[in-house]
Structure formats: C-alpha cells, structure tokens
Amino acid sequence: MQDHLYPYQKAVIEKVRQAFIDGHKSVLLYSPCGGGKTEMALSFLDATSKKNKRSAMVLDRIVLIDQTSKRMDKYKMPHGIMQSGSWRWRPNELIQVCSAQTLEAKGSFPDSSLLIVDECHSQRSDTTAMIKNNPHVRVIGLSGSPFTKGLASTYSVVISSITISELVDGGYLCPLRVFIAKEIDMTGAKKVAGEWSQKEATDRGIKVTGDIVSEWVKKTHEIYGGPRKTVVFCAGVAHGEDLSRKFADAGYNFVSISYKDDAEYKQDVIDDFSQPDTAIHGLIATDILTKGFDNAAIEIMVSARPFSKSFSSHIQQLGRGMRAHPSKTFCTLLDHSGNFLRFRDDWEKLYAEGVSELVEGSEKPKKEPTDNEKEAAKCPKCNVVWSGGDTCLNCGHVRTKRNDVVAIPGEMVEIGSSKRKEEKFSAEYKSNFYAQLLGDCQIRGHKPGKAYYGYIEKFGVGPSMAKPKPIHPGPEVLGWIKSQQIRKAKAASK
C-alpha cells in the first residue's frame, strides 16, 4: 500500500505511529490541500485491517464518501459504507467508510480500534464526544486548516507532513498570482460570533457584482487570452444567482449551485464542469466547493465572500486552485473580499512553516488594513500583490523607492511594514538569502560568482560572512530572481 506514497508521506506516517507509541491517543495530521491526506489515511486503514483489526473513516459529504470508496477500490481494499441508502452497506467488513450524518442519526459509531476523522476542523459535536468518551480508540484527525476552536482540547498533538512552500517548490502545487480588485465594503456590517452576517455580506456583495464580472473578463483576457476554468466564492445564494445572471449578460456561462439544489443536480454540474470540453466557464457557490471538490484544471479563483476571522475558510478556498496541472504554471486569484490582505500574515507563516502546534481560539477577527496599507501592498499599474523585490512579477512595473512613515504615539512605523519585516535584513536573513542564491546557481549550473553579484544587487554591498552551504531556493528568492530577470529584459529592450 505504501509503494505509491511520496517520501514525505511515508515519513509523516512514521511520525504519527511514533506519537501513538509515545502515548497520544488523538493525533491531528496537518497536510496542505493537495498534500495527500487521503492517501496517507488509506495507508493507516490498510495496515490496521492487515492486523485483522477494525477501523473507520468519518466524512461529512456524500461526494467525499464516494471519492474515498473509489480510491479504496483502486487499491483493492475491501470495505463497507455506512451511509443511508448505500448499496455497499457491509457492516462486517474490517474497514468502514462512514457518513457523519448517518452515524449521528444512528446515535452510535462502528466498533473500531482506529478512527480517522476527515476535515476534523469542522468539529462535529457527536464525533468530538465519541473521541473523548472512548480513550481506548486511536484517532487521527485530518485537516489542511486546523485553526478552529476546540481542536486543542480534542487532539493532544499535531503532526505536520510538509509545508505549502515545499509542495510548490516540488511542483506538487502551483503558486498563486493575487490581484486586489474592488472590494466588498463591510464597514459597520453586523457580526455573529465574530464573523460577518451572511445576509449582510450577500446584500453588500450584490452591489459590486458588475465589478466582479468586468474584472474577470478583463483579467482572463489579459493573462490567458480568453476564459479559463474558474470558481467563484460568493457571499450568499442571492449573490450567486445575481453573479450568474451578470456573467450570462456578458456572454459567459457561470452556473450557481447552493444548498437549495438537490444533490444529483449539483453532482451533474460538477461532473460537466470537470470535462475538458465543457461549455461551463465557471462555478459559483458559497462553501459547497471548499470540500470534496478537487479539479486541478482550475486556473482562476474569485474571492467574493468576506471573512472577518475564519482563516480556515480562506485556506480551504485557496486550496481549490493550487493543485498542479499540466495546463498551468500558476493560479490567479481575483480578490474582491479583502481576505488575502486581511489574512496575509497568517498565510505567509503557514506557507513557510506549516503547523507546529494547536492554539485554542487562534481564529480571531482581523484588524482591517488601512487604505494606505492596501495601496502599498499592490502594484499601482496592474493591482497584483507585490511578492518580493521592487519589480512587479506580473507587468514589470518598477516600484519607486519611498520612505513613507506615519507617526504613531511612541513609535515610527513604515507603511506596509510589520515586526517580522523589520528583521528582514538581519545577518541571519542575509546569510540564508545568499545560501539560497548559491543553491539556485547549483540547480541551474551557474558559477557561484553569479550568486555573489546577486547578493550585491539585493543588499547593495558584498557579503561579509563566510560563504554558506547552498540550500534549495524558496519562493521569495525565486520571485526576486525572476523580478531581476524581468527588470534586465525591459532595460535591454529600451
């Protein structure tokens, strides 16, 4: 069963096993969207069945149950499905794929020595109670966004598989190109439990529907020369329907799906959209597309559902477009919600470091960026979010050096800066940057002197430290190298 797993997946499986040996009963396995959580889960289920022990996997969407069952058939893993009306109701099988809703209706869980909970950040009360009331059962929770309240009291340890940065560098995920578009104004909007009311988000979202459509038309032609597969995360059902009509008026076929549609219709639409020759340009939904929807061919995402604190939901949305596919080198995000800048610090930390601990109550309403901070974050020419260096990676615009400082009682703060960025040019940072430049030279077959002169271009002086050991370049350094190439190409063409 493990023959098809990547080395990092095999390594994390051993870490989870060690956590059980160390005495943990409930382990949360963090892996980014596209990191292979299901493959690792099947490996655990298969190993348990081979010991003649029972195991179960709990999922909360029919489409997820179907996908998991098909994957098990691919690996010839005998199993039953505990879901109302399923033709595969086989309670005697050692492996059970379970609908969370069916188990809740029955009021009981299948007897098992291992329980795997998919999308465990959803924190369903019956599942949580089962975990806490049955300490003899080993539990693995799977999540790509483990930031919701209650996880730290349910799972005693978190095991990280790999970072988003490493998956992008390895070609398992594709990078994002983010454009800041006209934002839905949520100033003064009512909040429920710290999150904006969906009714208010819907009403305000409808006001910028025209801008959402026109921006998509503009960018899809500027970047790709025509329409590409798109998903739109709308603010509510009425907003989705309004968007569908406005896209149709512009000559494009966008289908809105919601909880009001029956399951068969939604699945038919998703299946149609998945075909290479589909007539559907895009799908529109609130949260239906954030779980159980894995279409690697998606090249454009439109964020039009603002979140005040739900970093988990934001991450789930980003994951829909970052899966690698032969047809794309990056995924475009058109942000009308303000979510990308609102959660940018959290995203950058997660992107580079992954998850090392579960923090109770880690999702809190975010402070809104000021207008100056929003302007400083994007290229003034094309509105793409700056990504290292002074040259826009999208249009080649060179940023004018500024020293915009605002006075705050007791301190001076540079607009767009943060405490983390104040440490950016520490000795450690410079040494690490130099090591990555040397690593890039190794990969490309260039002489180390190219890294030396690249260091001078970046910092204005030659390196004062001993030459570090080359390391694999990350997204920041690769982005900087690309920006320098664009700048030099433009200079040479003049």
**Who contacts 494 (Cβ-Cβ below 8 Å, separation ≥6)?**
none
Q: Which of 95, 164, 1, 35 is nearest to 12 (CA)?
A: 35
Distance CA 60, CA 225 (A): 39
Taking the C-alpha atoms of residue 442 and residue 468, their distance in angstroms, rounded to an integer, is: 13
* DSSP secondary structure, 379-427, as one string: -TTT-BBP-SSSB-TTT-PBPPP---EEEETTEEEETT--HHHHTTTSH
What is the rounded average pLDDT for all residues in the chain? 86
pLDDT of residue 362: 67
Cα radius of gyration rounded to whole Å, the chain: 24
CB atoms within 10 A of CB 313: 23
H or E element that contains 133: helix 125-133
Query: Do the Cβ atoms of 340 and 303 come closer than 8 Å?
Result: yes
User: Does residue 454 have a pLDDT over 60?
Assistant: yes
Q: How crowded is residue 170: how many other Cβ atoms within 10 Å of its Cβ?
A: 13
Mean pLDDT of 454-478: 83
Angstrom distance (rounded) from CA 493 to CA 382: 21
Q: Topology of 168-368 in CATH?
A: Rossmann fold (3.40.50)
* Single-letter code of the amino acid located at 82: M
Q: Which pLDDT does position 289 carry in this prediction?
A: 81
**Residue 279 three-state SS:** coil
**Topology match between the domains 2-162 and 168-368:** yes
pTM of the model: 0.75
pLDDT of residue 388: 61
pLDDT digits (tens, 9 = 90+) for 237-289: 999 999 999 999 999 999 999 988 888 898 899 999 999 999 999 999 988 88
In this structure, CATH architecture of domain 2-162: 3-Layer(aba) Sandwich (3.40)
> Is the pLDDT score of 366 beyond 90?
no
CA pair distance 420, 221, nearest whole angstrom = 37
Amino acid letter, 443: I
Task: Specify the DSSP element, H or E, that contains 332.
Answer: strand 331-335
Tokens in use for 274?
């998945």
Position 92 confidence tier, pLDDT thresholds 50, 70, 90: very high
5-14, 311-320, 458-467: segment of lowest average pLDDT = 458-467
* pLDDT computed for residue 25 by the predictor: 95
d(CA 264, CA 186): 35
Tell me the pLDDT tens digit for each residue of 176-235: 999 988 888 888 888 887 888 888 888 988 989 889 999 999 999 999 999 999 999 999
So what's the pLDDT on residue 361? 66
Q: Break the chain into its structural domains and give their ranges.
A: 2-162, 168-368, 389-494
Token reading at 458: 């970046």
Return d(Cα 457, Cα 412) in angstroms, integer: 28
SS3 307: coil
pLDDT in tens, 113-162: 999 999 999 889 999 999 999 999 999 999 999 988 889 999 999 998 88
Least confident segment among 3-17, 70-84, 376-390: 376-390
Check whether 401 has a pLDDT greater than 60: no
CA distance 290 to 298: 13
Confidence class for position 423, pLDDT limits 50, 70, 90: very low
